[in-house]
């Protein structure tokens, strides 16, 4: 089995040489760089061309349209902002599904609706394409380091074919099952982060209220039973008044809203998620949506 998987990886790398990449944001830019480092030819498209100029200078090929970025590629990857952006990229006369060549693997790495992922999968199959939903976690740091966790839904054969591509961008790469399951797993990730990050902010708020040194407190508890990435990494930015986005508040709101809607449809009650979502919405109404998620502490500082 190990030998078979090794052969699949080798054949996949040999077969998939040309990649179209749509969405050159905080995450996408580093992912493109890692794909190029791995030896892939990467063509890129972004609505704002200036955001892609540095990776184009480094060797990526610029495309003027989504259609141009999708045609003639072995793999097309997208990581954009919102479900409406995914809809625009994949459907319609100028979309990926209409212009990707039969046999192409199309991979949406945006965190979006599981139902939309299934719709992309079904429409892609009708056009002879292979479709995977593969949202990521790890933030800007993981994207730069090539250590993203990648959660993949779709046909297992397509997953195995695309594994070398995923390995250029991430380390913890998981096949989650049928189409939409990658997105459902990402919902679980965002639900867990909502609780962990709000807990970290409450711990800092409490430490300040009772006169503790917040940094000593974080150093003391972050390697124990309370430890988490949110506590040890994200919360440390709070103490430096660093609210630059590794992940935008506005995008986290989008993710939590999707998770809340999916939970309601499935009959699951997620009180912590809904409470944290309300806190972030409150911050967004104050104009803080472009700050990093660690700015949740500002809710407790009111």
Catalytic residue among 29, 130, 186, 298: 186
Q: Are 152 and 133 in contact (CB under 8 A)?
A: yes
Say how far apart CA 119 and CA 154 lie, in whole Å.
12
Element (H, E) at 229: helix 229-229
Nearest alpha-carbon partner for 259 in 270, 244, 245? 270
Say how far apart CA 19 and CA 105 lie, in whole Å.
10
Alpha-carbon distance values, 181 to 86, 89, 122, 174, 185 (Å)? 17, 21, 14, 11, 6
Residue 82, both tokens = 């919102």
Residue 94, classed as helix, strand or coil, is: coil
Element (H, E) at 35: helix 26-37
Q: Are 41 and 18 in contact (CB under 8 A)?
A: yes
Say how far apart CA 243 and CA 234 lie, in whole Å.
10
Q: What sign does the CA torsion over 140, 144, 147, 152 have?
A: positive
Residue 17, both tokens = 């040489």
Q: Are 165 and 35 in contact (CB under 8 A)?
A: yes
Q: Is 186 among the residues known to form the active site? A: yes
The catalytic residues are 186
């Amino acid at each position: 089995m190990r030998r078979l998987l090794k052969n699949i990886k080798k054949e996949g790398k040999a077969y998939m040489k040309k990649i179209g990449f749509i969405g050159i944001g905080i995450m996408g830019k580093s992912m493109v760089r890692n794909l190029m480092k791995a030896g892939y030819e990467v063509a890129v498209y972004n609505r704002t061309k200036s955001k892609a100029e540095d990776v184009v200078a480094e060797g990526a090929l610029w495309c003027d349209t989504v259609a141009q970025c999708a045609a003639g590629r072995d793999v097309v990857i997208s990581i954009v902002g919102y479900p409406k952006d995914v809809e625009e990229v994949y459907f319609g006369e100028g979309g990926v599904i209409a212009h990707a060549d039969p046999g192409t693997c199309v991979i949406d790495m945006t965190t979006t609706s599981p139902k939309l992922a299934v719709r992309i999968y079904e429409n892609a199959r009708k056009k002879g394409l292979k479709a995977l939903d593969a949202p990521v976690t790890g933030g800007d740091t993981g994207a730069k380091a090539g250590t993203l966790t990648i959660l993949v839904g779709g046909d297992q054969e397509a997953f195995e074919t695309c594994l070398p591509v995923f390995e250029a961008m991430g380390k913890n790469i998981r096949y989650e099952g049928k189409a939409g399951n990658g997105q459902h797993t990402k919902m679980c990730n965002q639900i867990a982060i909502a609780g962990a990050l709000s807990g970290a902010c409450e711990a800092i708020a409490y430490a300040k209220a009772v006169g503790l040194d917040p940094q000593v407190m974080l150093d003391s508890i972050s390697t124990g039973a309370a430890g988490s990435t949110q506590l040890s990494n994200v919360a440390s930015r709070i103490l430096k008044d660093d609210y630059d986005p590794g992940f935008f508040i506005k995008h986290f709101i989008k993710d939590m809203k999707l998770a809340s809607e999916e939970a309601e449809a499935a009959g699951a009650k997620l009180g912590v998620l809904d409470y944290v979502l309300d806190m972030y919405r409150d911050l967004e109404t104050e104009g803080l949506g472009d700050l990093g998620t660690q700015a949740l502490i500002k809710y407790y500082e009111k």
